[in-house]
Structure 1
Amino acid sequence: MPLYEHVFISRQDLSNTQAEGLVEHFGTVLADNGGKLVDSEYWGIKTMAYKINKNRKGHYAYLRTDAPAPAVQEMERLMRLHEDVMRILTIKVDEHAEGPSIQMQKRDDRDRGDRGDRGDRRR
C-alpha cells in the first residue's frame, strides 16, 4: 500500500486531550477503510505565520500512514468537514523516515549536513 504523511492544524481553544483525540479518531477512520496508522506525533500548540479563521495559534499533529488511496480520501473528506480542523496537508512518500520527525528532535540533535567551504567569508 502507498505511504503517506499528514499534518493537520486544529483550533487553539481545544484542550491537549481533545487535540490528541482527533489523532485517534482519524486513525480509526483509516483502519475502518483498510489502512493503518503507522506512527503519530502531537507537536503541541504553535504560533502560525498568519491568522486562520481568526486563530493565531493551533494544535499541530503529524501522522504517518500506510493506506490505500480511498481510505486517505475518506479521512481527508472527514477532516475538511470537521469543525475543529483548520488546515490539512497530505504528502505521498516513498518510505517513512526512522525515528522522530524534525519537529520532535532537539535542536542539538539535528544534522545540519555538510555546509561546504565558505570561500572568501571573513572569520
Structure 2
Amino acid sequence: MRQYETLLLLSPELAPDGRKEIIDALTGIIERENGKMLLTDEWGMRDLAYAVNKQSRGFYVRLEYAAPGDCVTELERNIRISDGIFKFITVKLNEEFTPEEA
C-alpha cells in the first residue's frame, strides 16, 4: 500500500449535506477498493487566486488515505464525473506504507 493525499475543490453552491454526501461517497470508494481512510480535513470556503470554471470561491477538502494504485485510478474516475467537484489533485506521500503506522 502507498499513502496518498487528494485535495478537492468543491463548488461553493453545494449545501453542507451535498458536501458530506460527496465526501462519504469518495470514502466509500476508497474502502471498497481495499484502501483505508486516514484523515478527512475540511479547510472550508476560501477565495481563489483566479477564477476556475467561472467560480471565484471554493470549498477545500483534503483526503489522506492508504491504498493500492488501482484505488487511486477508480477514485479519480469518480471525481471526474462528479458534478460538485471542479478541481482536484492527488499526490503520493509515501511509497511503502502500512495503515498501522498511522
Please give the root-mean-square deviation of Cα atoms over the aligned residues, in Å: 1.2
User: Which blocks of at least 5 consecutive residues in structure 1 are unaligned?
Assistant: 96-123
For residues 36 and 27 of structure 1, what CA distance do their matches in structure 2 show? 9
Deviation at 1:17, TM superposition (A): 2.9
Moved segments of 4+, more than 6 Å = none
Q: Secondary structure at the match of 1:79?
A: helix
Between the two proteins, what is the percent identity of the paired residues?
Answer: 25
Q: Is the 8 A contact 1:30 1:75 kept in 2?
A: yes
Number of aligned residue pairs: 95
AA in 2 matched with 1:93: L
- Give the TM-score normalised by the residue count of structure 2: 0.87
Tell me whether 1:40 sits opposite 2:40 in the alignment.
yes
Which structure has more RCO (C-alpha within 8 Å, separation ≥ 6)?
2
The code of the aligned residue for 1:48 comes to L
1:17 aligns with 2:32: no
Superposed displacement of residue 10, structure 1: 0.8
- C-alpha separation in 1, matches of 2:20 and 2:49: 23
SS of residue in 1 equivalent to 2:72: helix
Q: Whose Rg is larger? A: 1
In 1: Cα distance, 2:20 partner to 2:44 partner: 9
For structure 2, the residue ranges without an aligned partner over 5 or more in a row are 98-102
- 1:65 aligned partner: 65
Q: TM-score, normalised by structure 1?
A: 0.73
Higher strand share: 2
For 1:67, the aligned partner's letter is A
